[in-house]
Amino acid sequence: MDDSSVVSALRKTPLHAVHLASGARMTDFGGWDMPVEYSGITTEHMAVRTAVGVFDVSHMGEIEIRGPQALDLVNYVTSNDAANLIDGQVQYSGLLFPNAAFVDDILIHQIGPTEFFLCVNASNQEKDYEWIASQNSFEADVELSSDRYVQFAIQGPKSLSVLAKLTDVRLDLIRYYHFTWGQIFGIEALIARTGYTGEDGFEIYVPPQEGPRLWTEILSAGAEFGVKPCGLGARNTLRLEAAMSLYGHEIDDTITPFEARLGWIVKLEQGDFIGRNALIEQKRRGVERRLAGFEMYDRGIARDGYRVFVNDQDVGWVTSGSPAPFLGKNIGLCMLPAGMVQMGRTIEVEVRQKRVVAKLTNLPFYARKK
């Protein structure tokens, strides 16, 4: 099979032609042909930290749950407590298997008491939908609605200024992890103040046919603020600086929330939910392994999957690692035996058959000033 056949087999967002015309370097991401960079990962990363960047994240999935017992279903299949939500609020949560490992990590938007809008990871959307549908013994309908949306992420300290040029919605009144409905450049949109970069910003959902036009208008509106179109390369380095989990790395179908430093999305008191019994047992026994952050002290970049050594023993692995452009250092996350997770501890990462010194550090690596 030649390269063109491989590319044609990949799924594409409605902005695919726009990305190609803009000279984006593309990559296979979970079966999607997506931009990895436009002007360079470091340039795009710094634009988001200091000004504003826009990402096409239309490969992400959307699942809608409606009906008299929609809340009951959402609370049964997720680890957080959606009963705490109000209309227009967003919640980060875990979709778990009975062993308490992750089916996926998701964002739950409460449209109303009987209607919820879930944003899920691109490569997991069919799996997530099938899992939720298979657990649905409630008076609720579950719909995989990804084809009805394109999603843009506008991120950075000047994101509000850019978006304000295109809408009459009072963006400043949207609190963090809340959303509203309104028109952007005359297009009806769901506007959420969430993000995956560690910066202030917005995720906007609009109909697919409006995607290319709105993308162009966002870049035009943001020109005076130094906006950059950004690819998944910068999205990854930004989320790593902010120590945000990525499915398939910090979380997967073998890792629980307690192991991944995500115990705050577990509400054992909310009642029965899938994975609850396993989490109660793990809490009783104590967690045997735990996610930790580290900085490289010797030259070298820790990449995903590299082995980690302590006192000459192979004890864990790097879940994510890369340079941190804004911080000017090389950083990473790793899974270690829980008893070894002590701030300041020296570890060694095996980089190209050579062990390189690193030290455990507090997380997140980067936190924006509020």
SS (H, E, C) 189-230: EEEECCCCCCCCEEEEEECHHHHHHHHHHHHHHHHHHCCEEE
Question: Looking at the domain that runs over 3-58+149-241, which CATH code has it been given?
Answer: 3.30.1360.120
Residue in 226, 160, 232 with CA at minimum distance from that of residue 197:
232
What pLDDT sits at residue 231?
A: 98
Minimal CA–CA distance to 324: which of 367, 369, 261? 367
In this structure, what DSSP letter does residue 24 have? P
Over residues 360-367, the mean pLDDT reads 98
Superfamily of chain region 288-370: Aminomethyltransferase beta-barrel domains (2.40.30.110)
Q: Provide the pLDDT for residue 5.
A: 47
Over the stretch 158-201, which tens digit does the pLDDT of each residue have? 999 999 999 999 999 999 999 999 999 999 999 999 999 999 99
What is the average pLDDT score of the chain? 96
CATH 3.30.1360.120 maps onto the chain at 3-58+149-241
The mean pLDDT of 68-84, rounded to a whole number, is: 98
Q: Where in the chain is the domain with CATH 3.30.70.1400?
A: 61-144
- Whole-prediction pTM value? 0.96
Determine the average pLDDT of the residues in 249-278: 98
- Indicate the pLDDT class of residue 369, thresholds 50, 70 and 90: confident
pLDDT tens per residue, range 22-46:
999 999 998 999 999 999 999 999 9
Q: Does the pLDDT value for residue 1 go beyond 80?
A: no
CATH for 61-144 is: 3.30.70.1400
Beta carbons of 141 and 66 less than 8 angstroms apart: yes
> What's the rounded Cα separation, in Å, for the pair 96 and 276?
9
Mean pLDDT, range 92-104, rounded to an integer: 98
Grade residue 370 by pLDDT with cuts at 50, 70 and 90. Answer: confident
Which residues belong to CATH 2.40.30.110 in the chain?
Answer: 288-370
Res. 267: pLDDT tops 80: yes
